[in-house]
Amino acid sequence: MLKNITLGQFILRDSLIHRLDPRMKIMITMLIVIGLFFIGSFWGFLVAGGYILTVISLSHLSWKVVLRGLKPVMFIIIFTMVIHLFFTRGGVVLLEWGFLRIESEGFFTGLFMAVRIMLLISLTSLLTLTTSPIQLTDGLEYILNPFRRFGLPAHELAMMMTIALRFIPTLLEEADKIMKAQQARGADFESGSIFRRARSLVPLLVPLFLSAFRRADDLAMAMEARCYRGGEGRTRMKELSMVGRDWMALGFSASFVLFFIIL
């Protein structure tokens, strides 16, 4: 049950996309995300879809892996589409059946919204699929660094993210173990009404939180024992540096954004 969570999964491949500088990848992703909200036409979406397909093929990942990231949000996508379909008014009436009425405006807005969400999700999951968590947080730290002047703890935020990502599998494993232990005492996590099921999570969640706190405590102690005191004066073994292909990627993506906004 807990095994199909692919949140923030990274798949190592040797590809152009994997080798790009993480800062550039984050910035390009932001650029495209913003761009996606300005698309107003069918052709724009088609071009944006083409862009994402190009990136997928360049990343040497199978499109199935990327599509898998859409599964958890499928409900939201369908929900948005249905709401727009029936409740957005305007344009010609396409279908009328009792009190239900579908108008062309609703049809197109719903469709565009659904496509937009799908493109957004596949784009962002492409970012995490091709960038290791360490690179990702490193890149974020660099990008956030200028804001330190205004009191933003960039290094600390990045460190928190690294640690959180690092402990996802550990906590999943722990949850599995506790679940089994409670099942051995006759706990039932799978049947009953929704209230019963929510209540049955207490024997799982209490020990899980306790162990998370225990781990956090141990980790903090271990970090202090190794003289960790935040980002002040820290140097790195691997400095990030932008090279030609990074700027080319930016140019390529920016022209795409321009193109699909205009369309």
Partner 1 sequence: MFVELKDVYYRYQTGEDYILKGINLQIEKGEFVALVGHTGSGKSTLVQTINGLLRPSRGEVFIEGREIGKWESPIQVRKKVGLVFQYPEHQLFEETVFKDIAFGPKNLGWSAQKIEEKVRQAMEFVQLDYEELKERSPFGLSGGQKRRVAIAGVLAMEPELLILDEPIAGLDPRGRRKLLDRINWLNEEKGISVLFISHRMEDAARRAGRLLVMNQGQIMLQGSPQEIFAQRDSLYEIGLEIPPLNEVLWQLRQKGYGVRTDIFSIEDVEEEILQHWRGFRCSKI
Residues that bind partner 1 (CB under 8 A): 177-178, 180-188, 202-203, 206-207, 210-211
Task: For the CB of residue 186, give the shortest distance to partner 1 in the complex, in Å.
Answer: 3
Identity of the residue, 147 or 209, whose beta carbon is nearer to partner 1 in the bound complex: 209
Q: How far is CA 231 from CA 144, 145, 196, 235, in A?
A: 13, 11, 46, 9
Identity of the residue, 161 or 201, whose beta carbon is nearer to partner 1 in the bound complex: 201
Helix (H/G/I), strand (E/B), else coil: 24 = helix
Task: For the CB of residue 3, give the shortest distance to partner 1 in the complex, in Å.
Answer: 9
Task: For the CB of residue 95, give the shortest distance to partner 1 in the complex, in Å.
Answer: 46
Tracing tokens 């954004």 back to the chain, one arrives at 257
Identity of the residue, 19 or 180, whose beta carbon is nearer to partner 1 in the bound complex: 180
Identity of the residue, 160 or 210, whose beta carbon is nearer to partner 1 in the bound complex: 210
Question: What number of other Cβ atoms are within 10 A of residue 14's Cβ?
Answer: 7
Question: What number of other Cβ atoms are within 10 A of residue 54's Cβ?
Answer: 13
Task: For the CB of residue 180, give the shortest distance to partner 1 in the complex, in Å.
Answer: 5
Q: Amino acid identity, residue 262?
A: I
Q: Amino acid identity, residue 153?
A: P
Identity of the residue, 95 or 205, whose beta carbon is nearer to partner 1 in the bound complex: 205
Task: For the CB of residue 182, give the shortest distance to partner 1 in the complex, in Å.
Answer: 6
Task: For the CB of residue 170, give the shortest distance to partner 1 in the complex, in Å.
Answer: 13
Identity of the residue, 192 or 230, whose beta carbon is nearer to partner 1 in the bound complex: 192
Identity of the residue, 145 or 183, whose beta carbon is nearer to partner 1 in the bound complex: 183
217 exposure class (CB count in 10 Å sphere: 0-12, 13-18, 19+):
exposed
Identify the DSSP state of 10. Answer: -
The DSSP line for 73-139 is: GHHHHHHHHHHHHHH---S-EEEEETTEEEEHHHHHHHHHHHHHHHHHHHHHHHHHHHS-HHHHHHH
Which residue in 216, 170, 223 sits closest to 2, CA to CA? Answer: 170
Task: For the CB of residue 14, give the shortest distance to partner 1 in the complex, in Å.
Answer: 25
Tracing tokens 């009436």 back to the chain, one arrives at 93
Tracing tokens 């999700």 back to the chain, one arrives at 121
